[in-house]
Amino acid sequence: MTDTKTQVVYERPESLTDTHTHYCPGCTHGIAHRLVAEVLDEMNLRESTIGVAPVGCSVFAYNYFNMDFVEAAHGRAPAMATGIKRVSPENTVFTYQGDGDLASIGMAEIMHAAARGENITVIFINNAIYGMTGGQMAPTTLPGMKTTSSPYGRDVELAGFPIKMAEILSVMEGSGYIVRRSLHDAKNIRKAKKAIRLGFETQERGLGFSMVELLSSCPTNWGITPQEALGFVADKMVPVYPLGDYKVNAELETIKV
């Protein structure tokens, strides 16, 4: 026998359940879930965290996260999270929302949660389309982009312009940490994880509202391959939704993660 040393280099985070997801091949929800789970493990928060699932493709997020979860009405996750956090401030509370949920039907709830400086963390998945209902135009759909409800391409004259949530939320005084990241390649995924960490650090330090917007792919409803979809994020979405830090509380700048 040769002397071998074994070392675990990769395993399922405790914050994820041992199950298959219902997400389509090439969808980046799985990556986003894993990043959140890794961060909660690293911060040792799993046992005190309460997640709030949205209406949308991630409606069943609670089947994949191994922690207490509630399931909100469409767009109301920030209100539900507010209720939980206000009566149970000792718990870590996060919402996981898509763009239709957060930037369309839930616009009032997200804006006022930020305005109040609710000490919650929001993971915002922006894939520029409604996934669960089968590919309709979202408030984040790019100009000219074809969807089942913008079959000739989003005409900004008739259907308006994409809504840039990170930019909007960054001007709210209650916001502590507002950034946009992307999940289209390994380098950006690593940056996204750091941002998620800082989002939860914001909450743990009581620095107010935190939101991490994650540009994501939807090959099924975009009608392209997973590989092409990642390219679409990089080439088409990033120019409309620039990556970057939109608001960072000064206290967070001292944190090394």
Tell me the CA distances in angstroms from 166 to 119, 163, 242, one per residue in order. 17, 9, 10
Task: Give the one residue of 21, 42, 104, 116 binding another protein; rule: CB under 8 A.
Answer: 116
Taking the complex as a whole, the smallest distance from the CB of residue 136 to another protein amounts, in Å, to 20
- Stretch of 71-79, 172-180, 210-218, 240-248 contacting another protein, by CB under 8 A: 71-79
Alpha helices in the chain (DSSP H): 29-42, 77-87, 99-100, 107-115, 156-159, 165-170, 186-204, 219-222, 226-232, 238-240
Rounded Cα distance, 71 and 245, in Å: 29
What 3-state DSSP class applies to 84? helix
Q: Does residue 36 touch another protein according to CB under 8 A?
A: no
Q: How many CB atoms lie within 10 A of CB 118?
A: 24
Query: Closest by alpha carbon to 177, among 98, 67, 257, 231?
Result: 257
Q: Does residue 33 touch another protein according to CB under 8 A?
A: no
Task: Give the one residue of 28, 29, 31, 49 binding another protein; rule: CB under 8 A.
Answer: 49
Do strands 209-215 and 121-126 pair parallel, antiparallel, or not at all (unpaired)?
A: parallel
| Residues 196 and 39 sit within 8 Å (Cβ to Cβ) | yes
Q: Does residue 19 touch another protein according to CB under 8 A?
A: no
With CB under 8 A, what is the number of residues at the site for another protein? 34
Task: Give the one residue of 21, 30, 42, 71 binding another protein; rule: CB under 8 A.
Answer: 71
Q: Does residue 70 touch another protein according to CB under 8 A?
A: yes
Q: Does residue 171 touch another protein according to CB under 8 A?
A: no
Q: Which is nearer to another protein, 80 or 248 (CB)?
A: 80
Q: Provide the 8-state DSSP code for 135.
A: S
- Stretch of 31-39, 81-89, 179-187, 209-217 contacting another protein, by CB under 8 A: 81-89
Beta partners for 214?
A: 125, 181
Task: Give the one residue of 12, 86, 148, 235 binding another protein; rule: CB under 8 A.
Answer: 86
Q: Does residue 76 touch another protein according to CB under 8 A?
A: yes
Q: Does residue 173 touch another protein according to CB under 8 A?
A: no
Binding interface with another protein (CB under 8 A): 46-50, 52-53, 59, 62, 65-73, 76, 79-84, 86-88, 91, 108-109, 111-112, 116
